[in-house]
Amino acid sequence: MTVQQPAMQLIPLNKLVASPRNVRRKDRKADIEALAASIASRGLLQNLCVVPAEGDRFEVDAGGRRLLALKLLAKTGVIAKDFPVACNVVAQEEGREISLVENIHRVAMDAMDEVDAFAALVADGLGPDEVAKHFGISRRHVDQRLALASLSPKIKAAWKRGDVTLDAARAFCLVDDHGQQEAVFRSLGKPVTHAPSVRARLMDGRVRASDRLAIFVGIDAYEAAGGKLLGDLFDAEAVFIESPALLAKLAEDKLQESSARHLADGWSWVELHLADGRGSGFSTTRLYPEWRDPTPEEQAELDRISAEIEKLDADLDATGVEDDPRWSTRDDLEAAYETVRQKGRCWTEEVKQVSGVLLSINNNGSVCATEGLVRQEDQKRAAGLLKQRREGGSGDETVADAEDAPPVRTSALPKSINRELTLVRTRAIRGALTNDRDVALAVCVASLALRSLRHTEMAGVSISAHIRPVDDLADAESSRARVEVQLPQDDADMLGWALDQSRDRLLDILSVLVAGAVDLAHDDTSPADLGKQSIADQLAKQLDIDMREFWVANLAFWVRLPKSALLAAVAEAPAMMERSARAREDAIKTHAKLRKDDLAAKVAALFEGTGYLPDILVAPFSAGGLVVTPQGQDALSHPAVAAE
């Protein structure tokens, strides 16, 4: 077969036009600036393929993005408008076929090939800024590629053979030490796919710059004290505190200022607590403040604010404007009222003499002062004070031992549904724990510490260890079966066998055993259920579990809910949130007239494809994990009124 060779000509740029026969319809303008920068730096490395058109023009059948890049260079004055462009001139009947061949047989450059190419350019003396300029890309992109080029050769080899994903390889770039990179690589199961696990092991002992202590101290203050930050080139949010000990000292020093104020106020003691959770050594009794009557000045201010709120409410009801800016004024008035009211909250000297204050840091980085705590050694004195108050017949509820009463649980869903939903979540957590030795180790240590030192047990976790009877996901069952076949037949040989195993192997087995001890299914009706839900929330968040991968709200779920829950779901449906308050209210009234099964079908349709999850399956967000949108701000300024 004879192949017709196209004729090459230099054609002025202003004589070239886009061809209607070019087969590329999408991404024509993608990265045109970068392509233009490359052409300006290196010239046009591949000729355009053109077909003669009317007059003296030529239509570009192959090379449409190159044409756009050249025209961009002409527009910005880099080249002349009649710049001679190297073109292969073909017959019109060949143009579409050549365009198709050029696009079909194009293969994107492998990321590792690009990494090696950039590293070679820098090794030849080209600076990162020059590389970025030549290829029309950002300096950060070049730095990222050079960081990947500097990875341990073992990890790069694992990447090329598929034992490490690109995301995980990027996570290894967090540190420069090849020995540390390789140690973490050896400790992880293969293939390595979970970048957060890589970062967590590399940063063992360090905390993020978004940590509550870092927010409290302030990054500027930390750096001024000589502290350093460690950033991730590939994740702007992943910034770590290199010296947690320095951060803790700065936080403690800053917290001492609040401590001095509370001691000066007459409290018998003040304790600082930087760790998560509540401090130890306290009794179950907690004392509470009294409420005095407002002073004449305070009462006058309360009356004035109340009158303003009443007048504003009347005006808002009369106008009926949903986005009225006066709603914000009303919120400010309510906040001012509460500020004045709180002035009547006071602690008596006798209460301060038998109790103290625990100072800690909230997740948002603010100081939390828990007042009225009683140490175990002061329990009898506090009990005497309570008895004296009761015998005095004061009826004072402020010193009642309110925390002794268990919280009342009111579930939004039926018990049977709660148990099924939390069982689905239990399976997901057990499956994830099986493959996460770090979290499994933390669960094991926490559980054993509670059992050995506190003579209690972690809610929903039984590490003695007992395998809880849960119908697991297939992967978790396979992992447990693999462990079982490797164990010695004779129980007397178990310790000797374990002593012969490597640390990594023991951790792998530990993760499987810990996972099997977890059963967090519950009915959401008791304080014990609340404890299980808290443990499940913490594990789901740490294991990065998205329950949408394990459960879908289908019609079978909705038909089991009471009608009140279905109507509440209608009000919260995404499609409803786009309507006005009046339109939502009318829609709810219309839906309320439907039979329950028909209503369930309507709700299922409203939530189809939205990824809806009941609250019981949703782990709480970390501080700073959410941003209030303008729509959210508007919703906050217009409190919803429950339908009667």
pLDDT confidence of residue 494: 64
Take residue 613 and report the two structure tokens written for it: 């999850």
Nearest-angstrom CA–CA distance, 352 and 300 = 30
What is the spatial distance between Cα 183 and Cα 203, in angstroms, rounded to a whole number?
Answer: 13
d(C-alpha 326, C-alpha 315), whole Å: 9
**What 3-state DSSP class applies to 638?**
coil
Q: H or E stretch including 346?
A: strand 345-346
- Residue 16's pLDDT is what? 92
pLDDT at 405: 40
Pairing relationship of beta strands 58-62 and 16-18 according to DSSP bridges: parallel
Question: Which of 117, 164, 147 shows the shortest CA–CA distance to 232?
Answer: 147
Q: For the range 410-416, what are the long-range contacts, defined as Cβ-Cβ under 8 Å and sequence gap of 24 or more?
A: 411/523, 411/524, 411/525, 412/565, 412/614, 412/615, 413/524, 413/561, 413/565, 413/614, 413/616, 414/560, 414/561, 414/562, 415/523, 415/524, 415/525, 416/523, 416/560
Which pLDDT value is given to residue 13? 92
Average pLDDT per 10 consecutive residues for the chain, totaling 644 residues = 64 88 55 77 81 87 86 89 88 66 51 72 78 70 79 86 85 83 83 81 76 87 86 75 84 88 89 69 78 85 88 78 75 85 84 88 83 85 78 46 44 76 80 78 63 57 60 73 73 65 76 76 75 83 82 83 81 77 79 81 82 80 49 53 36
Could you read off the pLDDT of 265-282 as tens digits, one per residue?
888 898 888 765 555 677
Spatial separation of the C-alpha atoms in residues 328 and 313, rounded to whole Å: 12
Q: Which of 358, 355, 353, 382 is closest to 370 using CA atoms?
A: 358
Give DSSP secondary structure letters for 352-401.
Answer: HHH-EEEEEE-TTS-EEEEEEEEEGGGHHHHHHHHHHHHHTT---GGGS-
DSSP, collapsed to helix, strand or coil, labels residue 242 as coil
Contact yes or no for 184/160 (Cβ under 8 A): no
